[in-house]
């Protein structure tokens, strides 16, 4: 693993670091590579205008060089291997060894020059999503530029005019290249570092992939029926937790590059949406929320004061987005007596085990899965299985978390009497309504006894 | 047969000298003739069948033979039947073959009979006319029979040789048919067992579907689909069960067992494929030496050559063999024979007869050549069938079945991860059974092809070439989809 310090003190110390065309291309800034999926906290900017760096969840920020007042970055589009969670790796396309690519951080008014080298087998381009820039720098192949051919490098140059939250992604063979994981985060910090200053500023992109269990490469023709929903191409339980010291102001910026909306939900706190695609929201326009919908192609910045200690769930509220790969056509077995049939099945398939009669919970069952496949839900918490996957992580608020310390403090130690407990008294009689309507539709006869079977939603095509 | 009576009429007395002379002649002829074998030539037939089938034949001619045969059959039936044991039982027990062997006894008797002179006859008559009493005494002696003994012996010997070859050919054919029936019976039983698994799988699916519908998870439509699959699987299973019974009965008929012996135990599975197929090598040459139909044809050529030579030499001795040994056939005994006549060459000097004999000879020659050409072709075709069925069976064993197994394992892993449903798992298990049945068919086809190849080299060939059609175990196309 590469420590953040190594990353920014010199490329020579980097494991897996590479340099594009050192020979005969002295004008190119170094393309720093990282192959780890761990969160790497950037140090304060070594040069240029000052800003408070963001923390890319399970990612890193791209170092730059100042060249006569111009901030120069070097992105290399290339095939990469991304670990979604321990036990599963995906062969993706990304930038500088990772997918999503490194976060680019600049300051309002910076002159930015980005070298983009294409090491993919097909042409590409980069669209700087949300930026104000000269039309010819917008990165739409055919419309505003020629595609960057394999092996070629093209240069984008513009002024980072508007502060805010942005993204970058190809605008060439998009369906394939984005399905393959080509995306990255971009933050333009305000000129005044104290403007809307927060203590912690987390960023990540929402992504979705369709990787058949047992395979490694996403299906690039999937339109809606994705089976892995990711924060920065990581899934629970492989995602890092977010942490905050009690009382700190925390900002989380989310960009959505999937094909569906994601209601992002934080437990235990209210937040306000302080930024959108268009910039910062005026304070008088904000309202408190616990869930904000991040629509397709949108960015949202939410802010809150981490006032309440604990381990707070943070996730997309579409329940199947907090699952890893699962069968879309698995019939509901709830309530189905299986033991007789199971005996027959076991006579033909000895390793068969009947499941689902009491619901979908796999509990702590550990059964062999196809290669390179994560359990549909997993993660062990202090009280047992968390039974989550995909777009799920935890916001850990601690009294003694040091400022600037992003390390995982472990599980929250609940004060006595603050954890849900089991009722040990006499069973309580539930009161049931016996009428079948209110005043407008009074019951004509005693309510008919209706056998009612609750059925969990299954299948999630057409989000 | 014309008889020539040596008659002497005497009004006084028969001369003792003549009497003595006739007796001496008769005794001298009788002394040089062939005698009956003690086993009806079975040993000689066994010499022919042993290298070709691995076993000899044993004619059942008395209660002692029958008892020995029954004991041996009982011993062979006490263990699960092997292909060799099946052949051995058929050779001991098949009544059709016993018929051929009995026929052989008839031929041998004819042959022995042909080497013997008829007994001399003696007649005495007394006639009275008026005062005169005429007493006629005569000694009759079969002179023509005596003259033609070598001729008849040679012909009957040839016929006897032919009968031996026919009996051997019959035995070899029976052995091949038994092996075929054996492999069919074992394979059909194996298929039946696997079809039972399809039924189990379909039954489990239907049961789950019923439960699904009962608790409200499934519609009547979904349930009915799964139920229909089960219903269909049952009919297929019934068919496979009858197929197994029919195949077994075919084998039982060839083994000639009945009653208490019917409990023939078949092994659970066909013999494994040999590790290497035999190479084509000099199979054609081998067939030329070994094939019984060729030997029969050759013997026929020799016999007609002899009769041709005889006809050429004598002209007025008319020897016609009415037939040559044709391909063996069961049923009525051949009705060929011969006739010898002595004629006086007054009007016909035998030219036409000689031409006819020559043509008959050429017929035999051409027929033999024809059989040889067919035999070579049959060997080549049988080898191709053998080699193809070996490759197909090995491909099933090494590629298709392991792949299907791997697929099943992967589907199970997907079921574990709730990525696939139990119904997919069941559908796949049925798929796998089908490929296993395909493998069984391929393995059976190989062993049958091997049997056919042996028949083409050793027996009389003529086996129907196997079609290389895929296993006919097409079940319901796909599982109901849910």
**pLDDT tens string A196-232:** 999 999 999 999 999 999 999 999 999 999 999 999 9
Residue A445: predicted pLDDT: 60
Q: Which of B197, B212, B420 sits opposite A348 (nearest CB)?
A: B197
User: Cis bond leading into A237, ω under 30°?
Assistant: yes
Mean pLDDT, rounded, for A128-141: 97
Helix (H) or strand (E) holding B109: helix B95-114
Mean pLDDT, rounded, for B66-86: 91
Distance between CA B42 and CA B55 in Å, rounded?
12
CB contact under 8 A, B203 and A344: yes
CA distance A338 to chain B (A): 7
CB contact under 8 A, B482 and A331: yes
Structure-model confidence comparison of residues B305 and A11, the more confident one: B305
Provide, rounded to the nearest whole percent, the portion of chain A with pLDDT above 90.
73
Residue A456: predicted pLDDT: 55
Residues of chain B in contact with residue A367, where contact means CB-CB under 8 angstroms, are: 416-417
What are the pLDDT digits (tens) for A78-110? 999 999 999 999 999 999 999 999 999 999 999
Residue B464: predicted pLDDT: 41
Q: Is the pLDDT of residue B456 over 80?
A: yes
Residue B482: predicted pLDDT: 38
Q: Which of B200, B419, B426 sits opposite A326 (nearest CB)?
A: B419
Structure-model confidence comparison of residues B18 and A265, the more confident one: A265
Predicted confidence band of residue A26 (pLDDT cuts 50, 70, 90):
low
Average pLDDT, chain B: 80
Residue A7: predicted pLDDT: 46
CB contact under 8 A, B207 and A373: no
Residue A152: predicted pLDDT: 96
What are the pLDDT digits (tens) for A383-424? 999 999 999 999 999 999 999 999 999 999 999 999 999 999
Q: Left, alpha or beta for B331 (phi > 0: left; psi -120 to 50: alpha)?
A: left
Around Cβ A212, how many Cβ atoms within 10 Å? 17
Residues of chain B in contact with residue A459, where contact means CB-CB under 8 angstroms, are: none
Mutate: best of B195, B207, B237, B481, partner A, most A CBs <10 A: B207
What are the pLDDT digits (tens) for B161-188? 888 888 898 899 999 999 999 999 999 9
Mutate: best of A213, A329, A339, A341, partner B, most B CBs <10 A: A341
What are the pLDDT digits (tens) for B338-391? 655 555 666 666 677 778 878 888 888 899 999 999 999 999 999 999 999 999
Q: Left, alpha or beta for A340 (phi > 0: left; psi -120 to 50: alpha)?
A: alpha
Residue A411: predicted pLDDT: 97
Q: Is the pLDDT of residue A75 over 90?
A: yes
Least confident of A59-73, A448-462, B385-399: A448-462
What are the pLDDT digits (tens) for B39-57? 777 888 888 888 888 888 8
Distance between CA B189 and CA B184 in Å, rounded?
8
Residues of chain A in contact with residue B426, where contact means CB-CB under 8 angstroms, are: 345
CB contact under 8 A, B412 and A352: yes
- Give me the numbers of helices (H) and strands (E) for chain B, helices first please: 13, 4
Q: Go through chain A and tell me how many residues it has.
A: 463
Predicted confidence band of residue B328 (pLDDT cuts 50, 70, 90):
very low
What are the pLDDT digits (tens) for B389-438? 999 999 999 999 999 999 999 999 999 888 999 999 999 998 998 899 99
What are the pLDDT digits (tens) for B202-257? 999 999 999 999 999 999 998 999 899 999 999 999 999 999 999 999 999 999 98
Least confident of A295-304, B266-275, B285-294: B285-294
Q: Which of A331, A349, A369 sits opposite B217 (nearest CB)?
A: A331
Structural contact between residues B218 and A331, judged by C-beta atoms closer than 8 angstroms: yes
Interface of A to B at Cβ within 8 Å reads 213-214, 325-327, 329-338, 340-342, 344-345, 347-349, 351-356, 360, 362, 367-370, 373, 375-376, 451, 453, 455
Structure-model confidence comparison of residues A235 and B321, the more confident one: A235
Q: Is the pLDDT of residue B465 over 70?
A: no
Contacts of A32 (CB under 8 A, 6+ apart): A7, A11, A14, A17, A62, A63, A74, A96, A102
Structure-model confidence comparison of residues B38 and A289, the more confident one: A289
CA distance A411 to chain B (A): 28
Around Cβ A439, how many Cβ atoms within 10 Å? 5
Q: Is the pLDDT of residue A364 over 90?
A: no
Contacts of A69 (CB under 8 A, 6+ apart): A111
Residue B44: predicted pLDDT: 85
Residues of chain A in contact with residue B217, where contact means CB-CB under 8 angstroms, are: 331-336, 453, 455
Residue A284: predicted pLDDT: 95
Least confident of A164-168, A271-275, A455-459: A455-459
CB contact under 8 A, B212 and A336: yes
CA distance A36 to chain B (A): 27
Distance between CA B461 and CA A325 in Å, rounded?
61
Residue B274: predicted pLDDT: 95
CB contact under 8 A, A327 and B422: no
Structural contact between residues B443 and B187, judged by C-beta atoms closer than 8 angstroms: yes
CA distance B222 to chain A (A): 11
**Backbone Cα Rg of chain B:** 34
Distance between CA A336 and CA B215 in Å, rounded?
7
Q: Which residue of B has its CA nearest to A457?
A: B217
Q: What is the pTM of this model?
A: 0.77
CB contact under 8 A, B419 and A331: no
Mean pLDDT, rounded, for A346-361: 84
CB contact under 8 A, A327 and B414: yes
Q: Which of A340, A344, A367 sits opposite B416 (nearest CB)?
A: A367
Residues of chain A in contact with residue B207, where contact means CB-CB under 8 angstroms, are: 340-341, 344
DSSP B237-271: HHHHHHHHHHHHHHHHHHHT--GGGG-PPPPSSPP
Q: Which of B212, B413, B429 sits opposite A331 (nearest CB)?
A: B212
Q: Is the pLDDT of residue B110 over 50?
A: yes
Complex prediction ipTM: 0.81
Q: For residue A8, how far is the Cα from the chain centroid? A: 24
Residue B331: predicted pLDDT: 52
Q: Is the pLDDT of residue B130 over 70?
A: yes
Structure-model confidence comparison of residues B145 and A142, the more confident one: A142
CB contact under 8 A, A376 and B482: no
Structural contact between residues A277 and A326, judged by C-beta atoms closer than 8 angstroms: no
Distance between CA A336 and CA A11 in Å, rounded?
60
Q: Is the pLDDT of residue A158 over 60?
A: yes
Q: Which residue of B has its CA nearest to A332?
A: B217
Interface of B to A at Cβ within 8 Å reads 197, 200-201, 203-205, 207-208, 211-212, 215-218, 408, 410, 412-423, 425-426, 429, 482
């Amino acid at each position: 693993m590469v420590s953040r310090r190594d990353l920014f003190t010199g490329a020579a110390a980097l494991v897996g670091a590479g340099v594009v065309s050192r020979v005969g291309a002295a004008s190119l800034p170094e393309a720093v590579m990282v192959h780890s999926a761990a969160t790497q906290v950037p140090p304060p900017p070594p040069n240029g205008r000052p800003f408070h760096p963001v923390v890319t969840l399970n990612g890193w920020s791209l170092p730059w060089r100042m060249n006569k007042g111009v901030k120069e970055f070097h992105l290399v589009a290339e095939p990469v291997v991304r670990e979604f969670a321990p036990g599963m790796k995906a062969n993706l396309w990304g930038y500088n060894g990772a997918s999503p690519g490194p976060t680019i951080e600049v300051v309002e008014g910076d002159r930015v020059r980005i070298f983009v080298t294409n090491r993919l087998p097909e042409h590409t381009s980069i669209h700087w999503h949300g930026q104000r820039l000269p039309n010819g720098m917008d990165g739409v192949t055919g419309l505003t530029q020629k595609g960057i051919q394999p092996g070629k490098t093209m240069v984008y140059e513009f002024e980072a005019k508007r502060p805010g939250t942005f993204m970058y992604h190809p605008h060439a063979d998009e369906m394939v290249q984005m399905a393959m994981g080509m995306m990255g985060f971009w933050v333009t910090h305000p000129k005044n570092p104290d403007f809307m200053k927060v203590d912690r500023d987390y960023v990540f992109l929402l992504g979705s992939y369709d990787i058949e269990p047992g395979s490694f490469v996403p299906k690039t023709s999937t339109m809606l029926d994705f089976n892995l929903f990711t924060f920065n191409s990581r899934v629970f339980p492989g995602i890092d937790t977010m942490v905050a010291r009690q009382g700190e102001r925390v900002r989380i910026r989310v960009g959505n590059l999937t094909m569906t909306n994601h209601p992002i939900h934080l437990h235990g706190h209210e937040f306000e949406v302080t930024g959108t695609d268009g910039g910062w929201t005026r304070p008088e326009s904000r309202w408190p929320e616990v869930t904000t919908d991040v629509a397709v192609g949108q960015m949202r910045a939410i802010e809150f004061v981490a006032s309440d200690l604990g381990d707070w769930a943070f996730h997309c509220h579409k329940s199947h987005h907090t699952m890893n790969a699962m069968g879309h056509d698995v019939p509901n077995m709830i309530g189905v007596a299986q033991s007789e049939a199971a005996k027959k099945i076991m006579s033909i398939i000895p390793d068969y085990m009947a499941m689902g009669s009491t619901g979908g919970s796999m509990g702590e069952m550990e059964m062999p899965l196809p290669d390179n496949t994560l359990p549909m839900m997993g993660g062990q918490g202090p009280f047992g299985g968390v039974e989550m996957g995909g777009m799920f992580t935890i916001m850990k608020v601690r009294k003694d978390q040091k400022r600037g310390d992003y390390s995982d403090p472990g599980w929250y130690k609940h004060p006595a009497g603050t954890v849900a407990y089991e009722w040990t008294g006499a069973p309580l009689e539930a009161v049931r309504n016996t009428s079948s309507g209110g005043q407008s539709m009074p019951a004509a006869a005693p309510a008919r006894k209706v056998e009612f079977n609750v059925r969990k939603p299954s299948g999630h095509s057409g989000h | 047969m014309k008889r020539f009576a040596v008659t002497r009429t005497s009004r006084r007395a028969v001369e003792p000298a003549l009497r003595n002379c006739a007796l001496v002649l008769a005794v001298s002829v009788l002394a040089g003739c062939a005698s009956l074998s003690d086993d009806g030539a079975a040993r000689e037939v066994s010499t022919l069948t042993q290298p070709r089938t691995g076993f000899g034949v044993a004619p059942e001619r008395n209660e002692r033979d029958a008892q020995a045969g029954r004991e041996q059959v009982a011993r062979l039936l006490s263990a699960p039947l092997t292909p060799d044991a099946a052949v051995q039982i058929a050779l001991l027990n098949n009544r059709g073959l016993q018929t051929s062997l009995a026929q052989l006894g008839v031929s041998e008797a004819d042959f022995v009979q042909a080497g013997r002179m008829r007994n001399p006859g003696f007649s005495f008559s007394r006639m009275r006319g008026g005062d005169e009493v005429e007493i006629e005494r005569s000694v009759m002696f079969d002179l023509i029979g005596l003259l033609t003994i070598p001729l008849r012996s040679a012909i009957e010997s040839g016929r006897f040789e032919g009968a031996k070859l026919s009996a051997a050919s019959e035995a070899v054919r029976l052995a091949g048919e038994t092996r075929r029936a054996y492999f069919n019976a074992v394979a059909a039983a194996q298929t039946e067992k696997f079809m039972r698994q399809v039924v189990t799988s379909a039954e489990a699916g239907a049961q789950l579907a019923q439960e699904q519908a009962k608790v409200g998870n499934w519609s009547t439509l979904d349930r009915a689909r799964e139920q229909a699959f089960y219903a269909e699987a049952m009919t297929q299973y019934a068919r496979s069960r009858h197929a197994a019974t029919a195949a077994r009965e075919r084998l039982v008929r060839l083994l000639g067992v009945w009653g208490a012996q019917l409990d023939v135990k078949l092994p659970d599975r066909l013999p494994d494929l040999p590790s290497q197929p035999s190479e084509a090598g000099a199979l054609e040459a081998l067939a030329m030496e070994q094939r019984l139909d060729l030997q029969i044809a050759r013997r026929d050529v020799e016999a007609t050559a002899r009769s041709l030579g005889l006809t050429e030499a004598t002209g007025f001795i008319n020897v016609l063999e009415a037939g040559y040994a044709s391909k063996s056939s069961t049923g009525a005994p051949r009705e060929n024979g011969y006739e010898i006549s002595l004629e006086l060459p007054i009007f016909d000097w035998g030219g036409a007869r000689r031409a006819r004999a020559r043509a008959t000879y050429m017929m035999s020659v051409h027929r033999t050549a024809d059989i040889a050409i067919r035999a070579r072709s049959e060997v080549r075709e049988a080898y191709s069938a053998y080699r193809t069925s070996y490759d197909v069976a090995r491909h099933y064993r090494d590629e298709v079945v392991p792949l299907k197994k791997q697929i099943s394992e992967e589907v199970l892993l997907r079921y574990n991860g709730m990525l696939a449903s139990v119904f997919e798992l069941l559908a796949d298990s049925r798929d796998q059974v089908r490929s296993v049945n395909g493998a069984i068919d391929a393995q059976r086809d190989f062993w049958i092809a091997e049997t056919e190849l042996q028949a083409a080299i050793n027996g009389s060939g003529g086996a129907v070439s196997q079609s290389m059609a895929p296993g006919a175990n097409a079940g319901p196309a796909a599982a109901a989809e849910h």
